Amino acid sequence: MEPLENLREIRLRKLEKIRKLKIDPYPAKSNKKESVATSLKSVGKNVTTAGRIIGLRGHGGSSFADLLDQSGKIQLFFSKDKLSTVNSQLLTLLDVGDFIEVSGKVDKTKAGETTIFIDDFKMLTKSIRPIPQSFYGLKDIETRLRKRYVDLIVNRETVDLFVRKARFWQSIRDFLTKEHFIEVETPALEPIPGGADAHPFITHHNALNKDYFLRISLELYQKRLLVGGFEKVYEIGKIFRNEGIDAEHLQDYLQMEFYWAYASNYDLLDFIPKFYRYIVSETLGKTKSQFGNIEIDWAKNWPEVDYSDSFKQETGIDLLKDPKKEELYKKAEAVGAKPTKKMGKGRLIDAIYKKAVRLKLIQPSLLINHPVEVSPLAKRDEKNPKIVQRMQVLAGGTEVGNGWSELNDPIDQKERFEVQQKLRKEGDEEAQMMDEDFVEALEYGMPPSAGFGLSQRLFAVLVNKPIRETILFPTLRPKS
């Protein structure tokens, strides 16, 4: 195999020969009429299609090629005695990777393969950089992610994955539209980040000479819309969290959140399983998915798992008896949660739960009755003020959805923000900031409401892949 640079030089010389034939190797327009998929169903008819050459084979006065577009692959047959003099010369200058437009009759070869017998063809794009042979069958995901465009060329399953991901997000829109939710758009630049416990990115607004935060959630502005009179709203938008890289976390990713006036957490417990079954069915074409060697069945009834009961069962700690921070810290160390002295009780409880309990919940489950310490924006339970009206969807050992009855008491909300502020002063950089404008909005009155969010982590669980592999161009560590 010749070095890549030598092969590139050969293609550059071919490019010059194409120009000398008075052929534009990069025309602005194609007259493509049929997709490859349509062409494959058009035996006996003339078609005009276009795509990338992914295979070339010469046989004397004839040549075969394989043409690929997004819809599929088809074989081409070139007979030099049917081509013009110029196109006969152009044929010798084609390479794998070139884009061409072809016209001809679709028929079967003697071997029975559906083929376009070419009457005419046109150069659309000359590829001057050959695809490295090392990419064919490449298993190193890091290399594939860094050169995702090459991965898409050589791995059809990668293309199929992202077509499926598009169906995932479309299914969410379709379901919520049928349920009379309105899609809205809220700011990505916020003076105060809120709606989640996360470390934000900071950027500078030159025109205003002011620092802003990239949003970490879609929550607080949508709740302002409920104050303003909207009753069912949702947004699918990018959020940004300046946190670690692992199989479940990204720094920027798509999230969906909806807010539903006059509903509560109890409405969510009925609504969400139906919502998810629709998403799974539309995305996968079935209601079962794979998680490692385990089959997840989304159609079965989802059990309700009590947060405190499951926590006590796995750790021996009764959260309803207000355990000391020191006890929680020791347990966090014991389960491998890597606690820090800056963590408050809520953060310690959450870290323990993720290690000791959540990993064991593989089939879809509804986690309920969370301690108030881990839910600064959820409404307290009327019967037990130590817990909140919250639910999470757990599957595959991780959280794939989160919702609750929204806190609409402005005094309670301000007090909880003040607790979060104290945690920030003690060093917890992920604790939420005081948002005085949001508290003021609540003082005008927000109806009882439910909110729910899911991210593309759900899609990653459905297709049984680490989340970064489900992103077209994920942020990667710099090469050493």
pLDDT of the residue at 247: 64
Please, what's the b/e burial string for 408-431 (b: 16 or more CB within 10 A of its CB; e: otherwise)?
bebeebbebbeebeebbeeebebb
CA-based torsion, 82, 87, 90, 95: positive or negative: negative
- Using the 8-state DSSP alphabet, how is residue 474 labeled? -
Q: How far apart, in whole angstroms, are the C-alpha atoms of residue 172 and residue 185?
A: 16
Instruction: Please name the residue that has the structure tokens 């490859």.
Output: 36
Q: Report the C-alpha gap between 205 and 203 in whole angstroms.
A: 7
| pLDDT at res. 60 | 67
Q: What is the DSSP letter of 248?
A: S
- The whole-number pLDDT of residue 129 equals 92
Q: Do domains 4-130 and 153-303+363-470 have the same CATH topology?
A: no
For domain 4-130, give the CATH superfamily: Nucleic acid-binding proteins (2.40.50.140)
Residue 388 pLDDT: 94
The CA-to-CA distance between both ends of the chain, in Å, stands at: 27
Per-residue model confidence (pLDDT) at position 87: 95
Q: Is 368 helix (H, G, I), strand (E, B) or coil?
A: strand
Coil, strand or helix: which one is 289?
Answer: strand
* CATH for the 153-303+363-470 domain, from 3.30.590.20, 3.30.930.10, 3.30.1360.20, 1.10.10.10: 3.30.930.10
- Collapsing DSSP to helix, strand or coil, 205 comes out as strand
pLDDT at 135: 64
Nearest CA to 76 out of 92, 128, 52 is that of: 52
> What pLDDT score does 196 carry?
77
* Rounded-to-integer distance, Cα 221 and Cα 376, Å: 16
> Can you give the pLDDT at residue 2?
65
What residues does 252 pair with on adjacent strands?
240
**Global confidence as pTM:** 0.90
Q: What is the pLDDT along the chain (480 residues), one digit of tens a residue?
A: 567 788 999 999 999 999 999 999 999 999 999 999 999 999 999 999 999 999 999 876 789 999 999 999 999 999 988 999 999 999 999 999 999 999 999 999 999 999 999 999 999 999 999 887 766 666 778 888 888 999 999 888 999 999 999 999 999 999 999 999 999 999 999 998 887 778 899 999 999 999 999 999 999 999 999 999 999 999 999 999 998 777 677 899 999 999 999 999 999 999 999 999 999 999 999 999 999 899 999 999 999 999 999 999 999 999 999 899 999 999 999 999 999 888 889 889 999 999 999 999 999 999 999 998 888 778 999 899 999 999 999 999 999 999 999 999 999 899 988 888 888 888 777 778 888 999 999 999 999 999 999 999 999 999 999 999 999 998 888 876
Domain range summary for the chain, segments of one domain joined by + = 4-130, 153-303+363-470
| DSSP state string for 116-179 | EEEEEEEEEE---SPPPGGGTT---HHHHHHTHHHHHHH-HHHHHHHHHHHHHHHHHHHHHHHT
Judge contact between 172 and 280, C-beta under 8 A. Answer: no
Residue 50: what pLDDT? 98
Q: Which amino acid is it at 160?
A: D
Q: Characterize the bridge pairing of strands 304-306 and 365-368.
A: parallel
